[in-house]
Copies of this chain bind each other. A is one copy, B any other.
Amino acid sequence: MAKRISHKDSMCGVARPLDAIGDWWSLLIIRDAFDGLRRFGEFQKSLGLAKNILSARLRNLVTHGILDTVPASDGSPYQEYVLTQKGQGLFPLLVALRQWGEDFFFAPGEPHVTLVDTKSNQPVRRLELRAQDGRMLMAEDTIVVAPPLVDGRE
């Protein structure tokens, strides 16, 4: 489960998260959690995966601090899985994934679900990357730079 980048022990800001959510099911579980699902059985019914897989994924997400187990909300003697702060932080990523999926994985005119703002009942705006001064940025307008070196070490 704990994979490692082979040739470099310190993983970058893109690689580290993939250790936590880099598999097929985890993001779908998290999406369902955003949709309000909380119980083991709810996830299983919604996703249709094997119970051992779901069990392993939930455990992984909990140990990574993305989900938390809380005792119960209705009388039942079981536990529920809820998003932590860290898990909630995945919302933009999920929206980005959804928007990309809608852009490129649906035929034009093919119906699909839409993410709407509950207040206005309008679809949400497209995610867009902007500079500090508000200019919209394309990929070519950006570059990743190394952190300022504090010691002598690279």
Contact = CB atoms under 8 A, between A and B. Distances in A.
A130 B119 contact: no
Contacts of A94: 14
How many chain copies?
2
Given A102-B13, A120-B132, A96 B145 contact: no
B142 A101 contact: no
Contact of A117 (B7, B91, B119, B131): B131
Interface in A136-154: 137-139, 141-150
A91 B116 CA distance: 22
Interface in A23-51: 23-24, 27-28, 31, 34-35, 47-49
A124 to B, nearest CB: 6
Given A3-B24, A14-B28, A14-B94, A132 B123 contact: yes
Would you list the 9 A-B pairs with minimal beta carbon distance, nearest first? A111-B147, A7-B48, A6-B48, A93-B96, A13-B101, A16-B105, A117-B131, A17-B101, A91-B139
